[in-house]
């Protein structure tokens, strides 16, 4: 979930959204869904909750829903693609929290490969080009080199 609509790509507003119930029994409405990406790692169906002060991520969604491996230790956290054993994201813990430093690409500008190719095709090209980052793969696609 995020309260930063500008970080979402492919945002789809909802007329009637679901709700999120906070621990102190406050209820807020989900205004829509989008995708957050840093060009190499993407999370789809991210809920936009107006006024949310911190981005929240479900570890269960990453593990069960997407099929990634997530580990936590005294140094920090790691998100790993199970099949290729590729490190997608690594971050150090701060106090009792494990914040993710995703540095998202802002919403509107198009990343051609991520938007035009399926997720499987995008990862296939990523692996075929020796794990080249998606930003550089997109340059290849836009220049008709791929």
Are residue 96 and residue 133 in the same domain, yes or no?
no
Are residue 118 and residue 79 in the same domain, yes or no?
no
pTM of the model: 0.61
Q: How far apart are CA 23 and CA 123, in angstroms?
A: 37
Q: Which residues pair with 48 in a beta bridge?
A: 2, 32
Q: What's the domain count of the chain?
A: 2
Are residue 98 and residue 115 in the same domain, yes or no?
no
pLDDT of amino acid 115: 43
Provide the 3-class DSSP secondary structure of residue 17. coil
**Residue range 50-77: mean pLDDT, rounded:** 85
| Mean pLDDT for the chain overall | 77
Are residue 73 and residue 86 in the same domain, yes or no?
yes
Q: How far apart are CA 141 and CA 136, in angstroms?
A: 9
Structural domain boundaries enclosing 22: 5-109
In this predicted structure, the answer to whether residue 129 has a pLDDT above a threshold of 60 is yes
Are residue 101 and residue 128 in the same domain, yes or no?
no
In this predicted structure, the answer to whether residue 33 has a pLDDT above a threshold of 60 is yes
- Can you give the C-alpha Rg of the chain in angstroms? 16
In sequence order, what are the residues at sequence separation of 6 or more whose Cβ sits closer than 8 angstroms to the Cβ of residue 54? 3
């Amino acid at each position: 979930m995020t309260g930063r609509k500008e970080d979402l790509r492919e945002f789809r507003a909802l007329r009637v959204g679901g709700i999120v119930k906070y621990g102190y029994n406050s209820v807020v409405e989900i205004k829509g869904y989008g995708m957050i990406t840093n060009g190499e790692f993407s999370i789809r169906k991210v809920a936009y909750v107006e006024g949310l002060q911190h981005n929240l991520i479900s570890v269960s969604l990453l593990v069960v829903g997407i099929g990634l491996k997530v580990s936590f230790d005294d140094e920090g956290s790691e998100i790993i693609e199970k099949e290729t054993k590729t490190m997608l994201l690594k971050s150090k813990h701060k106090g009792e929290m494990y914040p993710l430093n995703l540095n998202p690409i802002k919403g509107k500008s198009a990343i051609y490969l991520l938007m035009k190719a399926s997720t499987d095709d995008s990862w296939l090209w990523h692996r075929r080009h020796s794990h080249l980052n998606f930003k550089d793969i997109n340059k290849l696609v836009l220049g008709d080199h791929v």
